[in-house]
Structure 1
């Protein structure tokens, strides 16, 4: 197993191990793929199957998503929803058609490059399923930057609303919570919950609607905070 990176000052004094974890969707990758899947293509298929106008099918699907809520592992699972909507058998075609829509935010790779150059150990901690993460990590070589990738819903059968999820990740990383930095776009899942267990968590607010000591508005700003710039 390769040695974990450590930080030194110019005097070579050991400062601290830093593990930096990222949410995936709407943090590193934008919502282009997900919006097309959940709010266009699945409702379109449901409309065709039921003989409904698209807007009626869209309203039905979105009401079902909302009723399940993002606190449920089912909310993230395409297999669950295709079963619920009677669309089993459509998955492979949907993914094949839509995967070219996966896009990274412009600040994603520069941020990762800065942190890698500084010796940080990088990880992804996401509620996305392994199935979706696999092809999203292929976008622009994103996956090559990460030694550790965790799907909370696939690997642990929970979502990031549980503090135990982040403590479990720290255990897997063999790191204390105080050694881990995390950033994501969900105020509760990516900021409040990890910070409650001692992780250096930051809320990514790309819309610039919030301000605060632990709010960042892009990933370059997050890298500045991690590196003490």
Structure 2
């Protein structure tokens, strides 16, 4: 896609983590296979039955902090999900071009924030695994602000604790509900991700401009720099 970005008017780039910089395939594997299998073993249910029993529990918390909270689900399901997450951590991987994009943006003197709904425990595991934490000026978990990114109050809390100019900010996230909340708050430049999970087909007819490969952002940035 052609990105109509005036990089001279951008100071800050906020990135989501899962499905944006990291492949969402890990999270789908964890929540759709690993967790139901562990819960099935605990309750001596077949996997398929466990999956069906868990779906309404997950659905009831969608869009809230609980949905993203490893401690909440560890308690609700009586499972040690931190240990389970660590057991599966070899499946955690970055999306193509993620590291190069972050380096390019830093070279262009853009501030970089990681803004995620992941619980701090999960954020720590994934930063340890990927080794990208040093590339960010801020690592922000919505759990530290008390609201999920889908909720309007999250953005007010974020701006109060970490002031930024929403007109000079780019925000990239694979969740359209999160992008809606960010746009409603007033962030002018919001972009989605066409294929957050490498194991699934690219999504079509998204409501926001969407990026296929992350280097679409950096290629455009480098072309602007070359013209200056």
Same fold, TM exceeding 0.5? yes
**Does residue 193 of the first structure (1) align with residue 188 of the second (2)?**
no
**Does residue 219 of the first structure (1) align with residue 214 of the second (2)?**
yes
**Does residue 131 of the first structure (1) align with residue 121 of the second (2)?**
yes
- Higher RCO, 1 or 2 (CA under 8 Å, sep at least 6)? 2
Root mean square deviation, CA, Å: 2.3
Residue matched to 1:93: 83
Instruction: Single out whichever of 58-67 and 113-122 deviates more from structure 2.
Output: 58-67
1:81, distance to aligned residue in structure 2 (A): 1.5
1:148, distance to aligned residue in structure 2 (A): 0.4
Which of 99, 105, 118 aligns to 1:115? It is: 105
Q: Distance in 2 between matches of 1:81 and 1:146?
A: 29
Residue matched to 1:209: 204
1:179, distance to aligned residue in structure 2 (A): 1.6
1:156, distance to aligned residue in structure 2 (A): 1.0
- Structure 1 pair 77/141, CA: closer, same or farther in 2 (3 Å)? same
1:225, distance to aligned residue in structure 2 (A): 5.8
- Is the CA contact 2:173–2:193 (under 8 Å) kept in the aligned structure 1? yes
- Is the CA contact 2:15–2:172 (under 8 Å) kept in the aligned structure 1? yes
- Which structure: larger Rg? 1
Alpha-carbon displacement from aligned partner over 1:21-79 (angstroms, at most 9, x marks no partner): 0000011111233223212222112111211111111121223111221x111111122
Aligned-partner SS, 2:132:
helix
- Structure 1 pair 64/228, CA: closer, same or farther in 2 (3 Å)? farther
Describe how 1:1-229 pairs up with structure 2 within 5 A: 15-16=8-9, 18-69=11-62, 71-87=63-79, 90-152=80-142, 154-189=143-178, 191-199=179-187, 200-206=189-195, 207-210=202-205, 214-224=209-219, 229=224
TM-score (norm: length of structure 1): 0.82
Unaligned 5+ runs, structure 2: 1-6, 196-201
Aligned-partner SS, 2:115:
strand
